[in-house]
C-alpha cells in the first residue's frame, strides 16, 4: 500500500518534471486540424484547396483567390468550442477529465481584385487552446487524503499577412501567402497532495513561451476540364525567435518513515531552442456540376521535421448544396490523425496516441451583397495515454469536442 502510494506520488511529481522541457510544452501539437477556419471551408470539413475562391481562400490556397467573384471581406469565429478529454481511471479509480472552452474569432480576411491579380490580407488563429481546471479529489486512494490540482493554460497561435495571386490564362493560377506567425503560450500549474500519514507535497509551475516566425505558403490551381478544379498548396513554418522560461518550485514532507523529512526546491529554466515545423503539402480536387452543387476532397500530407514525429496524411471532403439562390447548406467529414509515431512495447510517458475524426455541418443565408453562416463541427477520438513516467502502463483516452461556428462576409 505504502509503496503504491509512494509510487503514485513520485509518478505525479515526475510527470511535472518531464513536462518541463521545451518540446513537450504543447497543449496539443500532436494534431494539425484542431481548428477549422473559414466561412465555407469550416462547414465542409476544412476541404478547400481546390476551391479557395473567396476572402477565406487566402489561408487554404492563395492561388484560388484569383478566381474570386469580386472584392470582399469576411470574418469568422468559433462561438463556442468545448473540448473534453477523459483519461479513464487516471487518478486512483477516478477519471481525469480535462475540459477546455474558448470563444475565438479565428479568421478575418479582405480580398481585392485588380485586373488579373488578386490581393488579400488575412488574420488567422489556427490554434487556440485554453484550459482552466480546478480539481479536488477526496480519498482518491485509501492512503491519499486530498489531491488538489489547478491548471490554467493558454496556447494561442496567430498568423497574419498578405497574399497575392495571378492568373495565367483562364485555367491556371498561382498564389503566394506570407504569414507572420506568432505564438504565445502560458501555463500555471499548482498541485497539492496530502496523504493519510500527514505527508504532503506542493508543486507550483509557471511556464511561458513566445515564438515568432514566418509561414510562407505557395499555391497552384488548375482547371483541366470544365466543372473540375485541382489545387495544390505547400507551406512550412520557420521560427526565427523562440523564448521559453519555466519556473518550478517544489516542497514536500515525507512522513512515511515516522520522521518528517522536508524537501524544498526552486528552479528556473530558459531556452531559446526553436521548434521545427513539418512540411505541409495539400492537394485538393473539386467538382462543380451545377451552380447549386459542388463536391470537394482534400489530402493533407505532413512531413515531420523533428525526431519523434511521424509523417501523416489527413483526409477531408465536403459538399455544398443550394436549397435556393439565397440559402445553402454544407456538410463535411475530416480526419485529424496524431503525428506521433505508433507506440510500441517500450513507449513510456508522457505519450498520448489519439486519432480523431470529425464531421461538420453549416447553413448560409445570402443577400445581394453579404452572407451569414452558422454551423457546427463535432469531433471524436479514442486512444491511449501513457501518464506515469517510467511506466508502460496506459490509460484509455477519449476526446470529444463540439464547436459552433459563426461567420459573415460582405462584398466591397
Q: Report how far residue 382's alpha carbon sits from residue 396's, in angstroms, rounded to the nearest whole number.
A: 8
Among 204, 357, 372, 384, binds another protein (CB under 8 A): 357
Among 7, 103, 134, 224, binds another protein (CB under 8 A): 224
Binding mask 68-107 for another protein (x = CB under 8 A): -xxx------------------------------------
Residue number with CB closer to another protein (143 or 229)? 229
Among 125, 159, 209, 333, binds another protein (CB under 8 A): 333
Binding mask 292-331 for another protein (x = CB under 8 A): xxxx-----x-x------xxxx-x-x-xxxx-xxx-x--x
Residue number with CB closer to another protein (138 or 170)? 170
Binding mask 362-391 for another protein (x = CB under 8 A): ----x-xx-x--------------------
Partners of residue 7 on adjacent β-strands: none
Q: Does 67 bind another protein (CB under 8 A)?
A: yes
Closest distance to another protein from the beta carbon of 376 (Å): 16
Binding mask 33-62 for another protein (x = CB under 8 A): --------------------x---------
Stretch that binds another protein, among 175-183, 192-200, 215-223, 248-256 (CB under 8 A): 215-223
Show contacts with another protein in window 111-150 (CB under 8 A).
113
Q: Report how far residue 1's alpha carbon sits from residue 4's, in angstroms, rounded to the nearest whole number.
A: 5
Closest distance to another protein from the beta carbon of 9 (Å): 35
Q: Does 351 bind another protein (CB under 8 A)?
A: no
Closest distance to another protein from the beta carbon of 224 (Å): 7
Length of the chain as a residue count: 412
Q: Does 342 bind another protein (CB under 8 A)?
A: yes
Show contacts with another protein in window 274-293 (CB under 8 A).
279, 281, 288-293
Please report, as ranges, the residues that interact with another protein according to CB under 8 A.
53, 67, 69-71, 113, 168-172, 220, 222-224, 226-227, 229, 232, 234, 279, 281, 288-295, 301, 303, 310-313, 315, 317, 319-322, 324-326, 328, 331, 333, 337, 341-342, 355, 357, 366, 368-369, 371, 411-412
Amino acid at each position: 500500500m505504502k509503496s503504491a502510494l509512494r509510487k503514485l506520488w513520485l509518478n505525479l511529481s515526475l510527470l511535472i518534471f518531464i513536462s518541463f522541457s521545451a518540446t513537450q510544452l504543447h497543449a496539443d501539437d500532436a494534431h494539425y486540424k484542431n481548428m477549422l477556419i473559414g466561412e465555407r471551408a469550416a462547414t465542409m470539413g476544412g476541404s478547400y484547396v481546390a476551391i479557395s475562391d473567396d476572402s477565406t481562400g487566402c489561408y487554404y490556397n492563395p492561388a484560388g483567390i484569383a478566381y474570386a467573384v469580386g472584392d470582399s471581406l469576411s470574418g469568422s469565429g468559433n462561438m463556442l468550442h468545448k473540448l473534453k478529454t477523459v483519461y479513464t481511471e487516471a487518478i486512483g479509480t477516478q477519471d481525469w477529465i480535462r475540459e477546455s472552452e474558448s470563444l475565438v474569432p479565428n479568421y478575418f480576411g479582405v480580398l481585392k481584385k485588380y485586373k488579373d491579380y488578386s490581393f488579400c490580407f488575412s488574420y488567422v488563429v489556427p490554434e487556440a487552446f485554453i484550459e482552466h481546471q480546478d480539481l479536488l479529489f477526496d480519498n482518491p486512494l485509501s492512503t491519499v487524503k486530498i489531491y488538489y490540482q489547478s491548471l490554467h493554460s493558454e496556447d494561442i497561435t496567430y498568423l497574419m499577412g498578405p497574399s497575392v495571386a495571378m492568373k495565367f490564362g483562364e485555367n491556371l493560377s498561382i498564389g503566394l501567402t506570407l504569414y507572420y506567425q506568432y505564438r504565445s503560450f502560458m501555463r500555471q500549474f499548482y498541485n497539492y497532495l496530502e496523504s493519510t500519514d500527514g505527508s504532503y507535497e506542493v508543486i507550483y509551475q509557471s511556464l511561458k513561451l513566445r515564438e515568432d516566425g514566418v509561414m510562407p505558403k505557395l499555391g497552384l490551381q488548375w482547371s483541366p476540364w470544365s466543372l473540375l478544379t485541382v489545387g495544390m498548396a505547400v507551406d512550412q513554418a520557420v521560427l526565427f525567435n523562440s523564448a521559453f522560461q519555466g519556473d518550478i518550485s517544489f516542497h514536500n514532507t515525507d512522513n512515511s518513515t515516522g520522521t518528517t523529512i522536508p524537501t524544498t526546491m526552486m528552479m528556473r529554466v530558459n531556452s531559446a531552442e526553436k521548434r521545427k515545423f513539418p512540411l505541409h503539402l495539400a492537394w485538393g480536387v473539386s467538382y462543380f456540376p451545377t451552380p447549386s452543387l459542388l463536391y470537394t476532397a482534400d489530402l493533407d500530407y505532413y512531413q515531420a521535421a523533428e525526431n519523434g514525429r511521424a509523417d501523416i496524411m489527413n483526409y477531408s471532403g465536403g459538399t455544398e448544396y443550394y436549397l435556393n439562390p439565397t440559402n445553402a447548406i454544407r456538410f463535411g467529414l475530416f480526419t485529424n490523425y496524431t503525428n506521433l509515431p505508433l507506440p510500441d512495447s517500450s513507449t513510456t510517458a508522457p505519450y498520448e496516441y489519439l486519432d480523431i475524426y470529425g464531421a461538420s455541418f453549416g447553413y448560409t443565408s445570402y443577400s445581394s451583397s453579404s452572407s451569414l453562416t452558422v454551423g457546427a463541427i463535432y469531433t471524436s477520438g479514442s486512444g491511449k495515454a501513457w501518464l506515469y513516467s517510467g511506466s508502460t502502463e496506459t490509460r484509455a483516452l477519449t476526446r470529444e469536442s463540439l464547436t459552433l461556428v459563426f461567420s459573415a462576409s460582405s462584398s466591397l
